Amino acid sequence: MKNVLVTGGAGFIGSNFVRYLLEHEAEVQVFNLDALTYAGSLENLKDLPHPERHTFLQGDICDQELVNSIFQEYAIDTVVHFAAESHVDRSIFEPDAFVRTNIFGTFTLLEAAKQAWLDHSPPAAEVRFHHISTDEVFGSLSPTDPPFREDTPYAPNSPYAASKAASDHLVRAYGHTYRLPYTLTNCSNNYGPYQFPEKLIPLMILNALEGKPLPVYGDGKQVRDWLYVEDHCEAIWLVLRRAPVGESYNIGGGNQPTNLEIVENLCEILDEAVPESPYKPHRQLIRFVTDRPGHDRRYAMDITKISTHLGWQPKHTLAEGLLATVRWYLEHEEWVRAIRQRGDFKAWMQQNYAQRGELA
């Protein structure tokens, strides 16, 4: 692992991973390819450790010529592929971008890797394509179903999940057909610093601070398996260094509260962290709104494989992670201001919540 191409490294998990890699891997050069869509920002890459080992490249993963030239120019030996359209609600309104970036973009990267690493003799040694996927490809669990395992059949429900499932299949197919050395991880809901405030946890923190409604979809009893983003980065790093080619691993946080419990928890943390707030108790801001169409009820990850094979366990409890996250958003007002001014943020909030009733 010398010249690592990170795609989507200006987004939430990607930027956390770039930071983690620069801190933990002394010899590595990181080439960060990101189109800077509404979800990506150079604000996420300020104050990187060892910035001399990081090169930012603005560009689209669907651009085959560009991607091929990056492999050649920087002698890429490792890909960590995060770039994607990632928000389920947006995939319901505008699935086109999800099909393009998540499926065609992944195909483009696989082609570039195949051409650079395999289409000559002898093929390059010590190369790796690591694909970042999601638990959503497995569908939805009932309250009594066991957690998802690596061999749980795929049953994606949203356009987002279907596009991620398609990209996973392409990665596996390139591994099987062309012997492209790959690994794949399916991860549960991440939270922590630098998450774009369209997602549940940062949206609730920032709305509560401004006394805005806290929109809980449906009955709020849906369950997610929350993982602190730093724990996810550590798991990916471990997989890159230690996992055999062709393996996939589930990564989860072992926390399965309901959405309503998460929101109430955040309200309690904010009541204490901002004692002078005129909106206390913040839970009075909770509003139940129209549910997400096709909303998956429950996700939960069985992490036996990654813990027994690679010795990974999440380090942060949910209580610690939520507290750290609230503190981070309180301490980064400038980041919040910059991010909220970006692209279509206001228009999106109006579009999404207009159809959910009183919050328009």
Backbone angles phi, psi at 68, to 5 degrees: -60, -45
Site string for ligand NAD, 203-242 (x = CB under 6 A): ----------------------------------------
Taking CB under 6 A as the rule, does residue 11 contact ligand NAD? yes
- Binding stretches for ligand DAU (CB under 6 A): 86-88, 134-136, 188-189, 199-200, 203, 215-217, 222, 224, 259, 292, 299
Which is nearest to 15 in space by CA: 349, 352, 351, 332? Answer: 332
126 belongs to the catalytic site: no
* From 60, 135, 231, 264, the catalytic residue: 135
89 is catalytic: no
Query: Is residue 160 among the annotated active site residues?
Result: yes
Would you say 18 and 11 are in contact if contact means Cβ atoms under 8 Å apart? Answer: no
Binding region for ligand NAD (CB under 6 A) out of 150-158, 187-195, 214-222, 322-330? 187-195
Integer angstrom CA distances of residue 245 from 219, 285, 339: 42, 49, 38
Nearest-angstrom CA–CA distance, 300 and 203: 22
Nearer to ligand NAD, 147 or 285 (CB): 147
Q: Name which of ligand DAU, ligand NAD, none residue 299 binds, using a CB cut-off of 5 to 8 Å depending on partner kind.
A: ligand DAU
- The catalytic position among 34, 60, 89, 136 is 136
Q: Are strands 128-134 and 182-187 parallel, antiparallel or unpaired?
A: parallel
Cβ contacts of 133 within 8 Å, gap of 6 or more: 164, 167, 168, 184, 185, 186, 187
Other residues' Cβ atoms within 10 Å of the Cβ of residue 353: 18
- Give the nearer residue to ligand NAD in terms of CB position, either 279 or 314: 314
132 binds ligand NAD (CB under 6 A): yes
Q: Which residue is nearest to ligand NAD (CB)?
A: 11
Binding partner selected for residue 224 from ligand NAD, ligand DAU, none, CB under the kind-specific 5 to 8 Å limit: ligand DAU
The residue within the footprint of ligand NAD, chosen from 82, 107, 138, 279 (CB under 6 A), is 82
State the Cα–Cα distance between residues 271 and 289, nearest whole angstrom: 23
Assess contact for 182 and 130: CB atoms under 8 A.
yes
CA 11 and chain centroid, separation: 8
Q: Which of 5, 70, 83, 339 binds ligand NAD (CB under 6 A)?
A: 83
The partner in contact with residue 34, picked from ligand DAU, ligand NAD, none with C-beta cut-offs of 5 to 8 angstroms by kind, is ligand NAD
User: CA gyration radius for the chain?
Assistant: 20
Coil, strand, or helix at residue 80?
strand
User: Which of 147, 153, 135, 73 has its CA nearest to residue 300?
Assistant: 147
Q: Which listed range, 10-18, 149-157, 207-215, 317-325, lies at the site for ligand NAD (CB under 6 A)? A: 10-18
Closer residue to ligand NAD in complex, CB, 6/285:
6
Report which residue's Cβ sits closest to ligand DAU. 134
Give the dihedral sign, CA 208/210/213/216: negative
Q: Which one from 20, 25, 77, 160 is the annotated catalytic residue?
A: 160
- Residue closer to ligand NAD by CB (options 199, 283) is 199
| Closer CB to ligand NAD, 44 or 207, in the complex | 44
Instruction: Check the CA dihedral 343-348-349-350 and report its sign.
Output: positive
- Pairing relationship of beta strands 190-191 and 227-228 according to DSSP bridges: parallel
Instruction: Please tell me the distance from the alpha carbon of residue 195 to that of residue 12, in angstroms, as a whole number.
Output: 5
Is 164 a binding residue for ligand NAD by CB under 6 A? The answer is yes
Site mask, ligand NAD, residues 34-73, x = CB under 6 A?
xxxx-xx-------------------xxx-----------
Q: How many CB atoms lie under 10 A from the CB of residue 221?
A: 13
Under a CB-based contact definition with an 8 Å cutoff, are residues 162 and 187 in contact?
no
60 binds, among ligand DAU, ligand NAD, none (CB under 5 to 8 A by kind): ligand NAD
Return the active site residues. Answer: 135-136, 160
Residues in the site for ligand NAD, rule: CB under 6 A? 7-8, 10-14, 34-37, 39-40, 60-62, 82-86, 101, 105, 132, 134, 164, 187, 189-190, 196
